[in-house]
């Protein structure tokens, strides 16, 4: 049971790239539960993240170590506002950073510890991007096997590029060092890719280039206690539901260098009976991907004060 009395509900939490100046400002003004989350975040982090979200500047908000906690805080603020109206939840999943939001919503990871961990994750990813510059690009119109082959071919002459996000059929993000990624883009165009779009990111996330960030991140995860979640969360790495706290820690560490298997994650939840997917946080990127993965799945996004009010009644 769940929303509308019969839907089997899965919660989706967005990842980096969904941030925007003004995010959460209306929520803080209209919903005390959301305002409390932003206030706690400011206290935990020791600076006014709430003001950065509301007022920018954009050049600071998009920085990896700011964008990641900003999106997490916005997502949890929305979740706290609509939790009672959602009712029973069957699954949770989050795209990259969003998986941390899912573990917090499931009660496995305390909010303050999760926020500190995501802030540290962003710092490590940003630092690694400075040490070994890399980037990412979205390729449209090619299947996964073709992209995997292209990445191997582009890497044969040196450097590394890999598939980083299997987002939806015909929409995959690749990640690697700049010259090798450029070779992969040219090969993709020659293979018939409809588009190849360079992303505005500070590093080659979800690729082997992030390997040296793993030790520092493992150290941070070692400071955090995970509990069994109130609902399973589908891992980016395995695309399978997870409830064991030891497994959670291992997979979150591996996530830094592993691809996000998003399309498979949605298929896993659908196969297990999920019928309604609710995206919580800024934007509606994951709701759009859901339509590309499974047109019969019902999806909706809740991220603004107006949407929270309409959903909660």
SS3 93: strand
* 111-116, long-range: CB < 8 A, 24+ apart: 111/37, 111/40, 111/76, 112/40, 112/44, 113/223, 113/224, 113/225, 114/72, 114/224, 115/41, 115/44, 115/45, 115/69, 115/72, 115/73, 116/44, 116/45, 116/220
Quote the radius of gyration of the chain (alpha carbons, Å).
Answer: 19
Active centre residues (catalytic): 96, 206
Q: Look-up: residue for tokens 């709701």?
A: 287
Reported residue count of the chain is 313
Enumerate residues 6+ apart whose C-beta is below 8 A from 47.
none
The bridge status of strand 91-94 relative to strand 9-13 is parallel
């Amino acid at each position: 049971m769940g929303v509308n009395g019969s839907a089997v509900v899965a919660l989706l939490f967005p990842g980096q790239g969904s941030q925007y100046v003004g995010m959460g400002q209306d929520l803080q003004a209209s919903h005390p539960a959301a305002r409390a989350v932003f206030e706690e975040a400011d206290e935990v982090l020791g600076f006014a993240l709430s003001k950065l979200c509301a007022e920018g500047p954009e050049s600071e908000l998009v920085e990896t170590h700011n964008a990641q906690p900003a999106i997490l805080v916005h997502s949890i603020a929305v979740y706290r506002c609509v939790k009672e109206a959602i009712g029973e939840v069957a699954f949770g999943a989050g795209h990259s950073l969003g998986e941390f939001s899912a573990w917090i919503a499931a009660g496995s990871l305390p909010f303050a510890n999760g926020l500190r961990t995501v802030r540290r994750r962003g710092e490590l990813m940003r630092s690694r991007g400075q040490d070994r510059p890399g980037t990412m690009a979205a390729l449209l119109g090619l299947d996964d096997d073709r992209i995997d082959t292209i990445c191997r071919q582009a890497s044969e002459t040196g450097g590394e590029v890999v598939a980083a996000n299997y987002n939806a059929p015909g929409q995959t993000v690749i990640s690697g060092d700049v010259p090798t990624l450029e070779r992969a883009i040219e090969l993709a165009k020659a293979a018939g890719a409809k588009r190849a779009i360079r992303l505005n990111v500070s590093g080659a996330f979800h690729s082997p280039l992030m390997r040296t960030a793993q030790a520092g991140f493992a150290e941070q995860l070692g400071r955090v206690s995970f509990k069994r979640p109130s609902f399973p969360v589908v891992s980016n790495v395995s695309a399978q539901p997870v409830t064991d706290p030891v497994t959670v820690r291992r997979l979150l560490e591996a996530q830094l260098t592993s691809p996000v298997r998003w399309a498979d994650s949605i298929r896993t939840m659908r196969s297990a009976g999920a019928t309604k997917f609710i995206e919580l946080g800024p934007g509606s990127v994951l709701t759009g991907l859901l339509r590309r993965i499974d047109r019969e799945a019902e999806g909706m996004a809740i991220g603004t004060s107006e949407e929270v009010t309409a959903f909660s009644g």
